[in-house]
Amino acid sequence: GSAMAAVRDVEIDPEGTFKYILVRLQRPGGGEQRDIVRGTGAAEFHNHIFEKVNPEMEKLGYECKCLGGGKIEHNSKDKKIRVFGLSTGYGKADHSVTVEILKKAYTGYEITWSDDKK
Sign of CA dihedral 32, 55, 75, 113: negative
The active-site residue out of 46, 48, 74, 95 is 46
Alpha carbons 46 and 42: distance in angstroms, whole number: 10
**Residue 46 a catalytic site member:** yes
Task: Flag whether 19 is marked binding.
Answer: yes
64: which strand partners? 25
Cβ atoms of 75 and 106 within 8 Å: the answer is no
Element (H, E) at 22: strand 16-26
75: which strand partners? 80
Torsion angle, alpha carbons of 105, 12, 19, 115, to 10: 10
Catalytic residue numbers read 46
User: Annotated binding site, which residues?
Assistant: 19
User: Annotated binding site for substrate, which residues?
Assistant: 19
